[in-house]
A and B are shown apart, each in its own frame.
Chain A
């Protein structure tokens, strides 16, 4: 089944403890992206990647890192999480830029 898989689904952590949210797609898509969704703010893009080893900042990249060493994986790294990074995170992929996105089921992160 074609899908975008994010893990974990729920994560509660403490301030400053490094964490990684994994994202994997099995559709051979070139484009991948991370969004965060907050009440009243909609979805905001964190980082995106046009292809392997090519990543770029979105609208809200501060406090996040990404890597794209393989086509299928696009992990989101929070080196030192803070409470303002408590949010619902979505990974998405598409065959190429401009084409419709396939979304994962989301990761709800709470930082205390």
Chain B
């Protein structure tokens, strides 16, 4: 398994500040996806970045991918209390006749009003 690893495990910031979460993985990937989960609910897809892309934006989200370092980062700008959630990276990998989308353990973000 080439499960991604998020860093930090937990992050607490003030409303209005930026939040940065990192993800590292072990082998080559097809794409990397970021998801958000509100307490015990189903995950919601945020953004997908392909292996040949370096940066992607969606609203207040910015994702970077460095395949040479096998790492990605998710930046949430001007955070809001409603951004409080857990954030997961997932790596999509296909090889040897199998396909896997494996998730990391997540970063728990708390945004303090």
Contact = CB atoms under 8 A, between A and B. Distances in A.
**Do the two chains bind?**
yes
Contacts of B99: 48, 50, 56, 97-98
Contacts, number: 66
A33 interface: yes
B42 A40 contact: no
B contact patch SS: strand
Contact of B42 (A41, A90, A99): A90
Given A98-B94, A106-B42, A33 B101 contact: yes
Interface residues of A, number: 28
Interface in B66-113: 88, 90, 92, 94, 98-106
Interface of B: 1, 3, 30-31, 33, 35, 40-45, 48, 88, 90, 92, 94, 98-106
